[in-house]
Structure 1
Amino acid sequence: MLNQKKSISRRSFLGLSAGNFLEWLDFTLYGYFALAIAHNFFPAENEILSTLAAITTFAVGFLVRPIGAYLIGNYADRKGRKSAMVLTVMLMGLGTLLIACAPSYQQAGYIGTTMVVLGRLVAGLAASGEFGAAVSLVMESCPKNRRGFYSALFNTSTYLALATGSGIALLIYGILGQQATLDWGWRIGFFIGLIIIPVGLYLRRHMEESNELINAPVQQTVQNKLSLGQFTQSVILVASLSGFGSAIVYLVIIFMPSFAKQAMNIDPLVGSASSMMSALIIILGAFIGGMWSDKSGRIIKILLTGTLITTFIGIPLYEYLLISPSPSRLFLFQIVCSLGLGLNIGAYFPFITDQFPTRQRALGIGLGYNIGVTLFGAVSPIVTTYALSKGILQAPAVYLLSAAMISISVLLIYKRKETLAIKSQLSS
């Protein structure tokens, strides 16, 4: 239970969650309505090439992420988490509004297409600064022995957004039918997202600042500041973990309905329903991983366990799906990958928070997260959609496996260094 005396206040937590929910709802809706956006703004003779253009525009928003992470992360470390997150929720609203109101290519030519691209850029800038500041505030304000639980609780807003986006797509397709959804119904989802903006803005304006940040000295010393080399290593560590997680989210959850339709002729309605259930499984896995983390403290073991489940059980199930495509096999593949990711999430926030001192935390976490998401998550649907257009149906599995191997390798190296450091301390 959220208690103001012992942990982050309800209002602050709701403000954080509302902004995070909106960010992920925006990205989720773009993924689920990729076919509709392609139909309206990127007309082409080949449906896959049209979808590829829409997905590439989705990825454009990630180009500004490292820049936004640096600028907004620095601002959050110097001026406060609260101020940074008021700014990001306003930017999120602007990005969503641009896409929702953009005229189609048939109505205004490239004006509408340009508005969609600008909407993605603004949303990317907002998302880049959101993560580092939000994670820092949650982890700095919650009880130390319940960080795993609060990691799972905060991430609930992320995966509720994925489930909500799936549900919205499901309802719109189900009520309006495919053609009406492609023509205009997809906009309804983005207008629903806009409703959250005033609520999120109000809650964030009345949030409490992190006491840990307030008490941290503004002028950093050798004792409370990482060297450039140490900072870079920590950023790479965060990037490798976020890269694998984002590849799962974008390939297995957000874009899978489109992939399943194009590669396996599975109804997008079925794909959206399966993705919605998968998002809920991630939430369940996150609470299991979070409570395991709080109880045992064995964060590296939990991170490795989740990654290995996805790698050696989940990814092979994609081949099983290709052999004989069916809704049940699609669901099985998504569920196993989602459970592995969920376990990781419960331990992820406490782990990355400990890699940086207070006055470098929002910047370091934001840079690492956004570099990983840009290099692995943003590129994943582009690479796999292009591969599908060439008939390479195994592309999603190969991509996920590559990201998994990088994450596992980095975790094992970190664990080895940690073990050697402990042995060195004991011997001295």
Structure 2
Amino acid sequence: MSNVQRNDQTTRLFSRASQGLAESRLRALAALIRRKPPLTEESITVVDQPMLKRAITASALGNTMEWFDFGVYGYLAATLGKVFYPDASSSAQLLATFATFAAAFVVRPLGGLFFGPLGDKIGRQKVLAATMIMMAVGTFLVGCIPSYASIGIWAPILLLIARMVQGFSTGGEYGGATTFIAEYSPDRRRGFLGSWLDFGTFVGYSLGSLTVTVLNGWLGEEAMIDWGWRIPFFIAGPMGLIGLYLRMKLEDTPAFRKQLDDHEAKMKQNESAGREIGTIFVRFWRPLLICIGLVLLYNVTNYMITAYLPTYFTDVIGRSQLSADLLVLASMVVVVLIIVGVGALSDKIGRRPVFAFGAVMQIIVAVPCFMLFRSEGIWAPAVACVVFGVVLACFAAPTASTLPALFPTSVRYGALSIGFNIAVSAFGGTTPLYTEAIVKATDNTLVPGFILMVSGVIGLVAVKYLKESAGLPLNGSPPQVDTTDEAAETYADAKEAALVG
């Protein structure tokens, strides 16, 4: 097949996907006209553009700070092992460091159970401000902990406590941030605007990893073990204050404010958190399972690359710290460069095709890429890192716009926080720990590739049952648009679709 034929075929596929989304949108608008109370032009939300920009900036900055910490921790794993577990072997140091890393994820579901229903009850903005404070304090305190040489066993205990504070706050962060951006975004641009949240994620990770790489090269191993490891954690404090300032300047989302006008929503204000959690598991178990499947797909890949791969290169393959750091950073740069474009693409062709393409690609390339990682030289591993960057972008870009669409406004924050954190705790943050353990037990360096293949298959099952949401109003909400002219056009489309239907 010639390049021209391939391009024509791709164009036709994109055209059919776009046409399918347009038809789905018209059917959804027609349904809104027929419901009681019916859709009116006045009930269509015209987004406040300056507030939308502030909402995206504040939410993305929170993710930037969170993942700056994860990038730092992943790249400092070997150093932290020597600081907090100096009497252990190098393998035991890594396992202990990853176990402490994973401990933060054990408490994340507790944070989700606490902050999620609270965000549905008192508002998204207040809870996101609280989680930002806790994240900044927890990260800053890590840098203040004395070493094992100074206070003995209390050093790793204090590290564990600080990590659990971070994990508890993070339990309410991502679910709230995705809800916040989704409820502010116009329907036709939700994929593009939501992708900025995870753009912040990978910018934060890249900045964290770059900071450690520069410090390692500048200070050397001895100074890093002595005091240099503290510097990146101290940097996160001011970042948190900036994020908090931006979040305090925000209004709550249009969807949440409209919900407060409803009688049923007012009754919900008196509903206990336990009752909402029960409602989520009983009434919304299907979308909850889909949410868990998609988050598993995204986060097993995410943590395999961001948290485990630096150690895999140095401890398993035997590469230098500098080359390992630069290779993983290459994957992150690829994600940063293309994630917003992939998010915009998901608005045009749908979320499901983007997720499905990434999952199939991961199943095909996971093991070959880890074979390339074992190659000598830099080019073969670099190609594999770029490929993984593309795969990861296919999961990261549509996630923030897909997950909030699974649930109605009344339980969106709580359901997202619960589903997201169950998946991340069980299958995401623990990925470095169990991957390292299995590799050591089997002495098989391709184990990470097989784990990624399994996650790809599970993700494909979730995509199969996922309803397309690109361009459609959020579950239970009226349409959201950029301008009053678009509101009039949307209402006219809805009336025409209702008549035709």
TM-score (normalised: structure 2): 0.78
Structure 1 contact 42–113 (Cα < 8 Å) conserved: yes
CA distance in 2, matches of 1:214, 1:175: 51
Alignment of 1:27-426 (within 5 A): 27-216=70-259, 217=262, 218=265, 219=267, 228-296=281-349, 298-322=350-374, 324-390=375-441, 391-414=443-466
The residue identity in structure 1 corresponding to 2:461 is S
Aligned residues: 411
Shift of residue 277, structure 1, vs aligned partner: 2.1
Structure 2 contact 366–449 (Cα < 8 Å) conserved: no
CA deviation string 1:117-153 (max 9, x = no partner): 0111000011110011111110110111101111222
Structure 2 contact 372–381 (Cα < 8 Å) conserved: no
Q: Following TM superposition, where does structure 1 have runs of at least 4 consecutive aligned residues deviating by more than 6 angstroms?
A: none
Gap change, CA 1:179 and 1:312, over 3 Å in 2:
same
Gap change, CA 1:155 and 1:229, over 3 Å in 2:
same
Which runs of 5 or more residues in structure 2 are unaligned? Answer: 1-45, 270-277, 469-500
CA deviation string 1:60-90 (max 9, x = no partner): 0111111110110101111011110111011
Shift of residue 351, structure 1, vs aligned partner: 1.8
Larger radius of gyration: 2
CA distance in 2, matches of 1:157, 1:80: 23
CA deviation string 1:201-238 (max 9, x = no partner): 111111121011011132369xxx97744412212211
CA distance in 1, matches of 2:238, 2:127: 21
Structure 2 contact 51–250 (Cα < 8 Å) conserved: no
The residue identity in structure 2 corresponding to 1:351 is T
Whether 2:63 is the aligned partner of 1:12: answer no
Question: Identity, % of aligned pairs?
Answer: 25
Structure 1 contact 49–389 (Cα < 8 Å) conserved: no
Shift of residue 315, structure 1, vs aligned partner: 3.8
- SS at 2:319's partner residue? coil
Alignment partner, residue 422 of structure 1: none
Structure 2 contact 120–410 (Cα < 8 Å) conserved: yes
Shift of residue 387, structure 1, vs aligned partner: 2.4
The residue identity in structure 1 corresponding to 2:246 is L
The residue identity in structure 2 corresponding to 1:303 is F
CA distance in 2, matches of 1:157, 1:413: 29
The residue identity in structure 1 corresponding to 2:422 is I
CA distance in 2, matches of 1:263, 1:32: 15
What CA RMSD, in Å, does the superposition of the two structures yield over aligned residues?
2.3
Gap change, CA 1:408 and 1:7, over 3 Å in 2:
farther
Shift of residue 379, structure 1, vs aligned partner: 1.7
Shift of residue 29, structure 1, vs aligned partner: 0.9
Gap change, CA 1:191 and 1:179, over 3 Å in 2:
same
Gap change, CA 1:45 and 1:71, over 3 Å in 2:
closer
The residue identity in structure 2 corresponding to 1:80 is G
CA distance in 2, matches of 1:242, 1:7: 30
CA distance in 2, matches of 1:408, 1:58: 28
CA deviation string 1:93-138 (max 9, x = no partner): 1211221011111110122111100111000011110011111110
Which runs of 5 or more residues in structure 1 are unaligned? Answer: 417-427
Alignment partner, residue 489 of structure 2: none
Shift of residue 325, structure 1, vs aligned partner: 4.0
CA distance in 2, matches of 1:255, 1:177: 22
In terms of mean alpha carbon deviation, does 236-245 or 8-17 score higher? 8-17
The residue identity in structure 1 corresponding to 2:334 is I
Structure 2 contact 140–237 (Cα < 8 Å) conserved: yes
CA deviation string 1:4-24 (max 9, x = no partner): 734643333322222111111
